[in-house]
Amino acid sequence: MKLAVNIAGVELKNPVMTASGTFGSGRDFEPWIDLNRLGCVVVKGVAATPWEGNPPPRIVETWGGMINSVGLQNPGVEYFIAEDIPWLRQFDTRICVNIVGRTVSEYVAVAERLASEDVDLLELNISCPNIKEGGVAFGVQAEAAAAVTSAVKKVARQPLIVKLSPNVSDIAEIARAVEGAGADAISLINTLLGSRIDIRKRKFILSMKHGGLSGPAIKPVAVRMVWQVAQAVKLPVIGMGGIMTGEDAIEFILAGATAIAVGTASLLNPEATMQVLEGMERYMRETGVEDIAELVGSVK
């Protein structure tokens, strides 16, 4: 059975990736799973300098998922290079760095700094809804999305995945814009903007009032958008949004994803990535599929 897939020239041993922001750099998961079995670790967003993130409360549960307004807290690219790359390189898996910024030049600075480092892929985060400048501000408007993609592409030495926001009316337009600007692959979806209110206090629960909704509640939206983007562009697509099981992952592959990422499920169950992989293998065995590539985009 062949599970290996290719994302912009980088071979992943299987299509299971981690969704940025739900796996850190993998340290907390090592006691639970064999990181060597992952297709790729996508690390929490990395900025040019350390970011503190938003004040608490910044995570709240909801039916079928959770809402976060973390605000891309991270120790910065120098820490990532010194501590996380050597740690992750102990494992036989690919490394993808989610890069974040408030301005185009901040995104460019991270890609430039990583140019000579031993990482396999970059993921341009233009879809985080939790920061006042940057993030999703670049991802909801085609020209802005194209401008940051082409600026980062000029300095990047690793293939560039662009991570899209679902908080738009025409996802295909944004996907075509970043393809035209030089993206090598597209990942989607990031979180949907949502809120929860404490009715006793008559106050928003999150300090930022709103945050990003993730988990199984958003899966049907994600499957629809992955299919729309896969129809709109020629680039490989990485699908995510509420994947809890191998069957969920197969839905994304049938919709047109070459690889998938497991996110919120890992916060509930640290073995989720392995169980998704095993579920995909089981589906392939049961349905007589020799190569995962046979399934990509094969929905009728």
Q: Which letter does DSSP use for residue 81 in this model?
A: I
- Verify binding: residue 68, ligand SIN, rule CB under 6 A: yes
Size of the site for ligand SIN (CB under 6 A): 12
Residue 199 zone, left/alpha/beta (φ > 0; ψ -120 to 50; rest) = alpha
Q: Which of residues 108-127 bind ligand SIN (CB under 6 A)?
A: 125
94: number of CA atoms within 13 Å, CB side?
Answer: 27
* Binding span for ligand SIN by CB under 6 A among 64-72, 142-150, 236-244, 246-254: 64-72
Dihedral in degrees, nearest 10, Cα atoms 221, 21, 13, 246: -40
Q: Please tell me whether the peptide bond between 33 and the residue prior to it is cis, using omega within 30 degrees of 0.
A: no
Position among 15, 65, 71, 101 found at the interface with ligand SIN (CB under 6 A):
71
CB of 194 vs ligand SIN, minimal distance in Å:
12
Residue number, 132 or 157, with CB nearest to ligand SIN: 132
* Catalytic residue (choose from 128, 171, 206, 255): 128
Distance CA 113, CA 104 (A): 14
* Binding span for ligand SIN by CB under 6 A among 5-13, 28-36, 69-77, 248-256: 69-77
Residue number, 190 or 273, with CB nearest to ligand SIN: 190
Distance CA 271, CA 80 (A): 24
Amino acid letter, residue 180: G
Say whether 294 sits in a helix, a strand or coil. helix
CB of 67 vs ligand SIN, minimal distance in Å:
10
Contacts of 254 (CB under 8 A, 6+ apart): 295, 296, 297, 298, 299
Q: Please tell me whether the peptide bond between 75 and the residue prior to it is cis, using omega within 30 degrees of 0.
A: no
β 192-195/185-188 pair status: unpaired
Q: Copy the structure tokens of residue 103.
A: 């301005």
For the chain, where are the alpha helices, taking DSSP H only? 77-79, 85-88, 104-114, 136-139, 142-155, 171-180, 219-232, 246-255, 264-268, 272-287
* Binding span for ligand SIN by CB under 6 A among 65-73, 147-155, 240-248, 273-281: 65-73
Residue 284: alpha-carbon gap to chain centroid: 24
Q: Which letter does DSSP use for residue 195 in this model?
A: E
Mask: binding to ligand SIN, 8-47, rule CB under 6 A, as x and -? -------------x-----------------------x--
Residue number, 191 or 266, with CB nearest to ligand SIN: 191
Mask: binding to ligand SIN, 161-190, rule CB under 6 A, as x and -? -----------------------------x
- Verify binding: residue 215, ligand SIN, rule CB under 6 A: no
Mask: binding to ligand SIN, 134-163, rule CB under 6 A, as x and -? ------------------------------
Q: Is 96 labeled as catalytic in the residue annotation? A: no
- Verify binding: residue 191, ligand SIN, rule CB under 6 A: yes
CB of 54 vs ligand SIN, minimal distance in Å:
7
| Residue reference for tokens 């897939």 | 5
CB of 13 vs ligand SIN, minimal distance in Å:
25
Where does this chain bind ligand SIN (CB under 6 A)?
A: 21, 45, 68, 70-72, 125, 128, 130, 190-191, 212
Active site residues: 128
